[in-house]
Amino acid sequence: MNTLRLVKWASLAAVVGLTVALPYLVSSFYVNMATQMLFFGLFALSINLIAGYGGMVTLGQAGVLGIAGYGLGIFYTSYAVPLGVSALLAIISTILVAAFFGLLLVRASGVYFLMITLAQGMVVWGVAQRLTTLTGGDNGLRGIARPPFAVEYWSYYYFSLAVVAFCVFLIARIVRSPFGLSLKGVREAETRMAPLGYDVKRIKLFAFTISGTFAGVAGLLLAMYNNFFSPPSVYVKASAEGLLMSILGGVGTITGAFVGSGVFVFVTNYVSGYMERWPTLLGLIFVLTILFTPDGVVGAWQRLVWAPLLRRYGAADEAELIEVGVGGGGLLSDRDLKGSKSAIEAGSAAPSEEPSEQVEETRAGS
């Protein structure tokens, strides 16, 4: 057991060390890839926050990200507001829009939630495309600057690293807070939360707004990275790619979002140099993940490698916790969570309505 813990901490230390030393180790091409991985990872994590922890799958998050990107661009380039103030105003706009979108979503769940978010994202895209006086239409907004202290590729990397690390720290705190647990409660058994005294609508609204705020931060980093912002960044495809990263890495995990964004950035930056049809490859990865490893890379790792290791070294309880806890519960996987004692004790994965409904529907369908 101690050996395992040591391995875990040592690998964590190695990852942190590599992350910090990266610009000294590899060329600018790879550092830029790492920068993209950071802000796309934050974007995926923002989706993960509501989809993985809250069970609300969104296909419109790029629209929310776009409010921040366009906000920054419009305030900074069109109205010559200082960069820092522009960024702040952009984030405030994002929070307001996310809250407004959230108000329309609080009564929806499941596929309705997904459809409405998709339509919301498309509205942002449509406005970005057609309100050319403000957004530049297809040409997008040029001349979005990076902060003066982070203009170089390596300094922008460190800047992104600091921002993303701070956001990850906040998100990790949020999901472990009482609010985060009530969010999981909504995921597992929405109808049971109200009788327990929870205001489900308020939880959903908060979750969507918080998640949108982090997507907004990712949007700022994206816009400053490219010095540019345009409609494709807010299109439904961008939302789907964010969801792909989130699911590929493993919904309901924090590391998963960055594993997913790593694969995404690798395909878009590296594989695309050798393979013209890389978007098809992304789509295939999406389809195969959903069919074969719905709990994603991190989920599969924990279930197939980490849990057996823990069991072997005498930590069966912890292993079982992992086995029932990963993969966003009943969101994508069809494993039946019923009858697992530690799951009930852990409180995070109590027998839910979702799986029993699924069993029912499977029966009807076959």
Partner 1 sequence: MSGRQFVLLSLNGISFGALLFLLSSGFTLIFGLMRIVNLAHGSFYLLGGYVGLTLMQGGQSFWVAMIGGALAIAILGFVVERGLLLRVRGRTMPEVLLTVGLSLIFADLALARWGGDPILLDRPSQFAGTVELSGVTYPEFRLLVLGLGILLAALMWILQSRTRIGAIIRAGVDDREMVSALGINVNAVFTGVFVFGALLAGMTGVIGGVFLSLYPGADGEILNFALVVVILGGLGDLRGAIVGSLLVGLIDSFGRSLTPSLSYFLLFAPMALILIFRPRGLFGRATVD
- Check binding of 363 to partner 1 (CB under 8 A): yes
Task: Specify the 3-state DSSP secondary structure of 228.
Answer: strand
What are the tokens at 146?
């990076």
- Check binding of 282 to partner 1 (CB under 8 A): yes
Shortest approach of partner 1 to residue 345 CB, angstroms? 27
How far is residue 281's CA from residue 295's CA, in Å, rounded to a whole number?
20
Q: Which residues pair with 141 in a beta bridge?
A: 229
- Check binding of 118 to partner 1 (CB under 8 A): yes
- Residues constituting the chain: 366
> Where does 227-340 have alpha helices with state H?
236-249, 254-265, 278-292, 296-301, 307-312, 316-325
Q: Do residues 122 and 62 make contact, with C-beta atoms less than 8 angstroms apart?
A: no
Q: Is the alpha carbon torsion for 63, 68, 73, 74 positive or negative?
A: positive
- Check binding of 114 to partner 1 (CB under 8 A): yes
- Check binding of 276 to partner 1 (CB under 8 A): yes
How far is residue 272's CA from residue 73's CA, in Å, rounded to a whole number?
28
Pick from 27, 79, 133, 178: which binds partner 1 (CB under 8 A)? 133
HSE, side-chain direction, 13 A CA sphere, residue 286: 17
Q: Which of positions 224-253 make contact with partner 1 (CB under 8 A)?
A: 235-237, 240, 243-244, 247
- Check binding of 131 to partner 1 (CB under 8 A): yes
- Check binding of 353 to partner 1 (CB under 8 A): no
Pick from 170, 283, 318, 344: which binds partner 1 (CB under 8 A)? 283
- Check binding of 126 to partner 1 (CB under 8 A): yes
Pick from 6, 194, 280, 308: which binds partner 1 (CB under 8 A)? 280
Pick from 3, 25, 291, 339: which binds partner 1 (CB under 8 A)? 291
Pick from 277, 312, 338, 341: which binds partner 1 (CB under 8 A)? 277
Burial 159-185 (b: 16+ CB within 10 A, else e): bbbebbeebbeebeebbeeeebebbbb
Residue 326 DSSP code: S
Whichever of 295 and 320 has its CB closer to partner 1, that residue is 295
Q: Which of positions 21-60 make contact with partner 1 (CB under 8 A)?
A: 57, 59
Q: Count of residues binding partner 1 (CB under 8 A)?
A: 56
Shortest approach of partner 1 to residue 117 CB, angstroms? 10
Q: Which of positions 54-113 make contact with partner 1 (CB under 8 A)?
A: 57, 59, 103-105, 107-112
Region class of 34: left (phi > 0), else alpha (psi between -120 and 50), else beta: alpha
- Check binding of 322 to partner 1 (CB under 8 A): no
In one letter, which amino acid is 171? I
- Check binding of 331 to partner 1 (CB under 8 A): yes
Shortest approach of partner 1 to residue 113 CB, angstroms? 11
